[in-house]
Homo-oligomer: A and B are copies of this chain.
Amino acid sequence: MARHDPNVQTGIDMRNARTKKTVNVEDLTIFLHHGHEEWNAKKKIIDILQREPLLDKSRREFMTRTERYEDGMNITNRIYELQQLHGWTENETKVALSSVDQPLPIHLHNIAFQPVFNLQAGPVLLKKYGPLITSRAMIGCYLQTELGHGTNVSRLETTATFLPDTQEFEVNSPTLTSSKWWIGALGKTATHGVVQAKLILDGGKDVGPHLFLVQLRSLEDHRVQPGIVIGDIGPKVMGGFPATDNGFARFSCVRIPKENMLSGFAQITENGQYVQPPHAKISYGGMLYIRSTMVTSAGWVIAKAATISIRYATVRRQGEIGKDGLEKQIITYPSVYYRLLPILARAYTFIQLGRSLTNAFSSMADRLMKGDTSLLAELHATTTGLKILVSTAGAQDIEVARRALGGHGFSAFSGLGNVYANYLPATTYEGDNFVLDQQVVRAALKTYRRLFSSGGQPSVDLFSPSSSFLRYMIDPALTPTHSVIHEAQWRDPETSILLLERRAAVMVHDHVQNLDSGEGAFTEDANANQRLSKAVTEAFVGVQVGNIIKTLGGTLQESDATMVRKILLLYLLTTVDAALIDLLSLSLLPPLSARSGLGAGMGIKNATPFNSGSKASRSRSTNLSSSGGDPVKSLRLTIDALCRELAPEAVGLTDAFGFTDWELDSALGVADGKVYEALWERAQKDPLNQKEVPDAYEKSIKPILQRGLRILQDKDKAKL
């Protein structure tokens, strides 16, 4: 009989998945890339990059940390060569740099050093250094974080003391903990840096943190400048950011000319007078933009995890025998599709959400330039909340997807280990998510008080996008009409959005009540800020997703629009599912008629076999057609139904992200589905396999075996 070959089957399963899918992959690809232009540009660049020998990723796993750094610099240099060779625009070069799928030191020059310098340097500095920075004739880094202090800039210890006699500043690190630390590209690469330091006026007055341009290394021979100690802070956990030289620096009384103070927002006169900056909020504009791009990038990272895990789950067969007489594809198991399809949904959601936010915030930036800062604090809080939401979800989704790969997911060749290690710091940098929660809460309370302080009804036009959920507290007409929620209601996005908004409104209100209750501390538990911050942000996102859903018809043909609507609905429903504790404990879900009025003991009584026919227990045991008005059950069954509708399209929906095998760099996510061949081939390249007998044999294995023999001989001797 012909033997069944699981390896051959993988290719067949992947082909079948592509034949069965009904979505138009090309259309969705254009949709996800927001038009032909962006997509074609990316395709062109990827096509060039993946033919570069230097960009062969297979060697990376076997390099030392030092080699990874050198490899990263060689790649950087090559990419700027390619830029000239192919006449890439700055934007195309940015795409190229982000496509090599490892964080590079030059990234810090491009997104941190250059923007800060351009925004805050005065005309003199700009004229002198601007062109050098743009052309990278000098490479910069941004020195804020110190060994002893992170985001809390007001406590930074580094000082810059003004010396009127010489019209200089003296930059100094008075303590070990004032050493700049974690600064990307500082360790070995950067020649210059913008240093955050407390400005000390003549006479010792401390006027707080300001920015100063300091040369770190000679442009002649790259030697470190006198008075500065510079180095790499060492490797990162799980092999993350291996090519980036996060560095430290200590300054002992380093003199810099007065003009090196970034004087865009503050100045020192020649006689040492401090000139108050104008309203500096204008500088937020750029930050809002960077934060909003974090949503899009989270979407694309999650998209990688979704593509790899869904492809593997499609070709991996295990366990029960299906109709075709073969073991089932693991994506058909509820425990698998229930984990992977919500991840796919978050990828689609964040990519779309990010785009609409980027647009919103650039228009906001314009308003800022015109001096309109009315909504700034609130918008800043919103972007903060989004940063927390997407970075937490991103890190979790990558790891959940990796574990869904089962045993093989622990192989470095799965690709998701690197993706995780490099994405992970997003949860702690740009502000630790748990610290940032407090900012979101403070802003929400401020808005609440602004709106309701009068006691009267604030007019609706006072509600900004990020506070609109609070309108539920003034308009009774907005309370829900239906008293039970069946699948039909869950299928309507408005149901989820309404619940998310009302949850946020109640929680903000309760929080204010607690703070005002005058009963002192501990009226809120330790996790209250986290829950409230999440509720506020999820209400905002819910509304945005609702708006995106409304626009789909215009951009996609109906069949595809329907599918994307289902994906976005799945995002909303899984968000509500994760919010059930709030919704249930705040009585925001319609009560289960069959269960209402039950006492504590009742639930269990109804559950005893002796009256198992009771309404309550039946209500929990019936299916979609009649979930007995139990909103939790109907929610979960609707999520399950949605997943089963999306599963057959999953490969098509992930193909639509347009990743090449080179981009994914995953043996388990190969486009042709031949995962076992890919694992086998990658293993053969392992340096350990280049010698039949490892060097360790003579040195340690042989001694172990021989010791064993001696032990036996001694035992035998003993017997005699």
Q: Known: A452-B609, A480-B600. Contact between A705 and B139, CB under 8 A?
A: yes
Q: Known: A70-B696, A409-B428. Contact between A148 and B338, CB under 8 A?
A: no
Asked if residues B688 and A65 are in contact (CB atoms below 8 Å), the reply is: yes
Asked if residues A428 and B411 are in contact (CB atoms below 8 Å), the reply is: no
| Cβ contacts A to B, 12 pairs, < 8 Å | A84-B707, A188-B696, A231-B683, A232-B686, A235-B686, A334-B525, A509-B608, A513-B618, A520-B623, A526-B636, A581-B584, A591-B599
Query: 1/0 per position for A511-538, CB-CB distance to B under 8 A?
Result: 0011001011011011111100000000
Q: Known: A69-B688, A238-B238. Contact between A233 and B683, CB under 8 A?
A: yes
List the B side residues contacting A411 at CB < 8 Å: 233-237
Asked if residues A222 and B693 are in contact (CB atoms below 8 Å), the reply is: yes
Q: B177, B181, B221: which contacts A693 (Cβ < 8 A)?
A: B221
A677 within 8 A of B: yes
Asked if residues B131 and A712 are in contact (CB atoms below 8 Å), the reply is: yes
Q: Known: A7-B148, A238-B238, A689-B232. Contact between A219 and B432, CB under 8 A?
A: no
Asked if residues B232 and A683 are in contact (CB atoms below 8 Å), the reply is: yes
A349 within 8 A of B: no
List the B side residues contacting A592 at CB < 8 Å: 587
Please report the total number of A residues contacting B with Cβ < 8 Å.
199
Asked if residues A152 and B585 are in contact (CB atoms below 8 Å), the reply is: no
Asked if residues B708 and A137 are in contact (CB atoms below 8 Å), the reply is: yes
**CA distance in complex: A472, B152 (Å):** 53
Q: Known: A407-B428, A639-B526. Contact between A603 and B587, CB under 8 A?
A: yes
Stretch of A72-80, A283-291, A550-558 that contacts chain B: A72-80
Asked if residues B64 and A527 are in contact (CB atoms below 8 Å), the reply is: no
List the B side residues contacting A318 at CB < 8 Å: 149-150, 152, 155
Stretch of A87-95, A163-171, A363-371, A413-421 that contacts chain B: A413-421
List the B side residues contacting A335 at CB < 8 Å: 434-435, 437-438, 526-527, 529-530
Query: 1/0 per position for A341-376, CB-CB distance to B under 8 A?
Result: 000000000000000000000000000000000000
Asked if residues B623 and A688 are in contact (CB atoms below 8 Å), the reply is: no
Asked if residues A601 and B64 are in contact (CB atoms below 8 Å), the reply is: no
Name the interface residues of A55-110: CB closer than 8 Å to any CB of B. Answer: 61-66, 69-70, 73-74, 76-77, 80-81, 84, 106
A324 within 8 A of B: no
**CA distance in complex: A576, B65 (Å):** 44
A615 within 8 A of B: no
List the B side residues contacting A64 at CB < 8 Å: 62-64, 687
Asked if residues B609 and A137 are in contact (CB atoms below 8 Å), the reply is: no
List the B side residues contacting A224 at CB < 8 Å: 692
- What's the minimum C-beta distance from A290 to chain B, rounded to whole angstroms? 18
List the B side residues contacting A461 at CB < 8 Å: none
A22 within 8 A of B: no
List the B side residues contacting A473 at CB < 8 Å: 604, 607-609
Q: Known: A699-B70, A709-B137. Contact between A609 and B682, CB under 8 A?
A: no
List the B side residues contacting A382 at CB < 8 Å: none
List the B side residues contacting A84 at CB < 8 Å: 707
- What's the minimum C-beta distance from A639 to chain B, rounded to whole angstroms? 7
Residue of B nearest to A67 (CB): B64
